[in-house]
Structure 1
Amino acid sequence: MSQDPYDLLGVARDADADTIKKAYRKLARQLHPDVNPDPATQEKFKEVSQAYEVLSDPQKRQAFDRGGDPFGGGFGGAGGQGAGFSFTDIMDAFFGGQGGQGGQGGRGPRSRVRRGQDALIRIEIDLAEAAFGVSRELKVDTAVVCTTCHGDGAAPGSQPVPCETCRGVGEVAHVQRSFLGEVRTLRPCAACRGFGSIIPEPCRECSGDGRVRSRRTLTVKIPAGVDTGTRIQLSEQGEVGPGGGPAGDLYVEIHVAEHDVFVRQGNDLHCAVSVPMTAAALGTTLTLPTLEADVESGAGSGVETEFELEIAPGTQSGSDQVLRGRGVPGLRGGRGDLIVSIAVETPGKLDARQEELLRELAALRGEETPDGHVRGPAQKSVFGRLFGH
């Protein structure tokens, strides 16, 4: 077996870390025991792994270039088992991982600066505000950048120092034996939590997090046409991230309160009006409020706050009148309709004269003994159709 790791990997002595790693990956794909179980190939795989262990470590490579033994017991290691190698690099060879920087096979230290979380608040608005839009001031309690340390987490006059446990790498190696020899895996350093540095004097204001809780006021513009469940996204208005990282987004979820008169279905508005029996028979004109009447700026601003509804003679109870374009504006343009359902009221108490007149009318219309009409369950009353009963 050749004792020269450069020869084993087939690279020049001045090869850089990337060239060495690529050469190792290529050979590992060919020689790995899972691919080629031949004993001679397995032995070759161990030699290649040992060679990569030397050349991927700057200190061991320098020791070998100077003529020393990087393993202190022969290049082959005690008992022929070989030195430890990076399990990460083996996985990289088969699954195309990126590996670490400088040929170390690790991910490197974690950044203390991370994006903040998104936040969600819910607000209730009136139907008119949902229909025509409104601006609201919100008080939001979120994380903001600490003004004492400006996000770096260290007390004024101090700064983070490299972790002595992992020497600033953010990871430590754990070695265990397997059928391949000693398998080395990298885990986040417990001392610095993978950051590669330690803050010896954390900021007292934020306890080293780089952010503090604060209440602030912001204005959200609610567009016309929103409905219950609509979420409005305010970019970078959420939580500031650890280490003073970029803020997440703030989502404002809308809940529309019930209206005393109108019921919304999609972009259409529904309402019901009752008229006396005589008015339904003879016809009349009703003056009804519009949804715009609920808007404070409606009066005196040229906005139509009421409309006239013509009740044609002979209007039946349960009939609908559709007023085009008097509903709720759509988020993408257009406007729904207003559907007015008519309920005809039958007088409950009659004096003698009224009863006499009605009997006379019934006689004139031949309705003293009406046969009646059987109505199926599908023909609901006006209120049943409107409210789903």
Structure 2
Amino acid sequence: MADHYEVLGVSRDATPDEIKKAYRRLARELHPDVNPGEDASERFKLVTHAYDVLSDPEQRARYDMGGGENPFAGAGGFGGFNDIFETFFGAAGGGSRGARPRSRRERGQDALVRVSLELGDVVFGVHRDIEVDTAVLCETCQGSCCQPGTSPVTCDICHGTGHVQRQVRSLLGNVLTNQPCNVCQGYGTTIPYPCATCQGQGRVRARRTVSLDIPAGVETGLRLQLPGSGEVGPAGGPNGDLYIEVTVAPHEVFSRDGDDLLATLEVSMPDAILGTTTTIESLDGPVDLELRPGVQGGDVLTIKGRGITPLRGSQRGDLRVGVHVVTPTRLDHKERSLIEEFAKRTKAPSPRLAEFHQGLFAKLRDRFRNG
């Protein structure tokens, strides 16, 4: 058997690129459609087989060590059997039925960007300009992959089909298989002058700005989809989608319960006893709040329409304020005397067991659900 390196005319330490260039040069010279001579046909088979072995790192290593060759190498494993059966039962000439050249244009990948929001942004929604680092269309070649003024040319090995027939040794004997052309990689065309800006990819990496209107009512973990705003595909293929994953930062005063907002109002004992009017700051401005005389710790005061606008709807939730009566811990002599006098006059009952206390907000949430 002829030495594969000698067949291709390269040294044993030739690089994969040198092997590929040697094969392409010989294939153009010896292809049956170019050189119909019988000797050329035989040499073409030897050249193709040598390239199949030396272009595969595992086969080349095994060949260099003197090992045998895989008779199905280059046939794509089980895919080779599919080609064999198509050779026997397919269209005349042994071609694969429906085989077409690959398209360089492919859909781009989807992209994911995480956005952090404040709770106030969730109440009404917010506009954001988001910086995205992704693949965009090459402005130099506009996705053609070629230098301006040039274009792809039909592959002179497969004549634009993207496939070539090869003879493969198998258990069934020598059979013809239909495989992607090694010269054009199955595209049917080659690019002799690739675009220098994108290296023949039709796209480049760049940072671009995406304007986004984030609706009200979003919550942590929600993903918003922007169709066609992801990466542009190879050779100017259609864009993938852009997904925005939302994270809502905790607020130091307000928490969320569905479309309602929860807050705690600390009230002094005198104000709880006598009642008062106060102004609190909601997420969208000041709100007047009236405390009735005798308000109890754990009571819930509801302010209608000051919660969150739902994701799908227009009726805002409520702001619910839980009362927390603050008991003084430091009293001077006069204050203590007044409290003792007050206790004697009111004849307050002694402490006694009552309903289990679950914590202020747990209790509030139970009341919200039941009320």
- TM-score of the two chains, using structure 2 as the length reference: 0.68
Question: Tell me, which stretches of 5 or more residues in structure 2 are unaligned?
Answer: 1-32, 34-79, 367-371
- Aligned partner letter, 1:355: R
Partner of 1:124: 116
**Pair member with larger Rg:** 1
Specify the SS of the correspondent of 2:158: coil
Secondary structure class of the residue paired with 2:179: strand
Aligned to 2:128: 136
- SS of the counterpart of 2:323? strand
Contact in 2 for aligned 1:269/1:337 (Cα 8 Å): yes
1:349 shift after superposition: 1.0
Q: Tell me, what secondary structure is at the counterpart of 2:266? A: strand
1:321 Cα offset (Å): 1.9
Contact 1:87 1:184 in 2 (8 A): no
CA distance in 2, matches of 1:340, 1:99: 79
Q: Which shifted more, 156-165 or 111-120?
A: 156-165
Which of 280, 285, 296 is equivalent to 1:316?
296
Look up the match of 1:217. 209
Offset at residue 167 of structure 1 (A): 2.8
**1:272 counterpart = 2:268:** no
The 1:281–1:146 alpha-carbon spacing in structure 2 relative to 1, beyond 3 Å, is same
Counterpart CA distance in 1 for 2:268 and 2:150 is 84
Counterpart Cα distance in 1 of 2:264 and 2:183: 71
Q: Distance in 1 between matches of 2:259 and 2:115?
A: 20
The one-letter amino acid of 1:311's match is L
CA distance in 2, matches of 1:381, 1:200: 75
Please report how far the alpha carbon of residue 271 of structure 1 lies from its aligned counterpart in structure 2 after TM superposition.
0.6
Does 1:348 find its partner at 2:329? yes
Contact 1:89-1:105 at 8 Å conserved across structures: no
| Secondary structure of the corresponding residue to residue 337 of structure 2 | helix
Task: Identify the range of structure 1 (316-325 vs 199-208) with the bigger mean alpha-carbon deviation.
Answer: 316-325
Q: Using the alignment, how far apart are the partners of 2:178 and 2:86 within structure 1?
A: 13
Check the 8 A contact 1:120/1:250 in 2, yes or no. yes
Residues 48-94 of structure 1 show CA distances to partners (whole Å, capped at 9, x for unaligned) of xxxxxxxxxxx9xxxxxxxxxxxxxxxxxxxxxxxxx9945957999
**TM-score of the superposed pair, with normalisation by structure 1:** 0.65
Distance 1:243 1:317, change over 3 A: same
Q: How many residues align?
A: 286
User: In the alignment, is the contact (CA less than 8 A) between 2:299 and 2:322 conserved in 1?
Assistant: yes
Give the secondary structure class of the aligned counterpart of 2:161: coil
Contact kept in structure 2, 1:318 and 1:341, CA below 8 Å: yes
Q: Out of 146, 153, 156, which is 1:154 matched to?
A: 146
Q: 1:87–1:183: 8 Å Cα contact kept in structure 2?
A: no
Q: CA deviation at 1:160?
A: 1.6
CA distance in 1, matches of 2:87, 2:318: 62
For the aligned residue pairs, the C-alpha RMSD in angstroms reads: 3.2
Match of 1:381 in 2: 359
Instruction: Choose the corresponding residue for 1:258, options 244, 250, 274.
Output: 250
Matched, 1:365 2:365: no
Cα contact 2:84–2:176 (8 A) shared by 1: no
1:365 Cα offset (Å) = 2.3
Q: Which residue of 2 aligns with 1:191?
A: 183
Q: Deviations over 1:17-63 (max 9, x none)?
A: xxxxxxxxxxxxxxxxxxxxxxxxxxxxxxxxxxxxxxxxxx9xxxx
Shift of 1:176: 4.8
Task: Using the TM superposition, give the Cα deviation of residue 273 of structure 1 relative to its aligned residue in structure 2, in angstroms.
Answer: 0.8
Deviations 1:218-258 (A, max 9, x none): 32111222222232322322211111112222222222222
- Give the letter aligned to residue 143 of structure 2: G
1:263 deviates by 0.6
Alpha carbons 2:84, 2:177 under 8 Å: kept: no
Aligned to 1:69: none
Whole-angstrom CA distance in 1 between matches of 2:363 and 2:88: 68
In structure 1, what residue type is equivalent to 2:312?
R
**In structure 2, do the counterparts of structure 1 residues 172 and 266 end up closer, same or farther at CA, with 3 Å as the change threshold?**
farther
Rounded Cα–Cα distance in structure 1 between residues aligned with 2:351 and 2:312: 52
Any conservation in 2 of the 1:114–1:243 contact (CA below 8 Å)?
yes
Q: Which moved more, 1:343-352 or 1:308-317?
A: 308-317
CA contact (8 A) 2:86 2:97 kept: no
Does the 8 A contact of 1:169 with 1:196 survive in 2?
A: yes
Do the aligned partners of 2:280 and 2:287 also contact (CA within 8 Å) in 1? yes
**Percent pairwise identity:** 45
Q: Which amino acid aligns with 1:322?
A: T
SS at 1:216 equivalent: strand
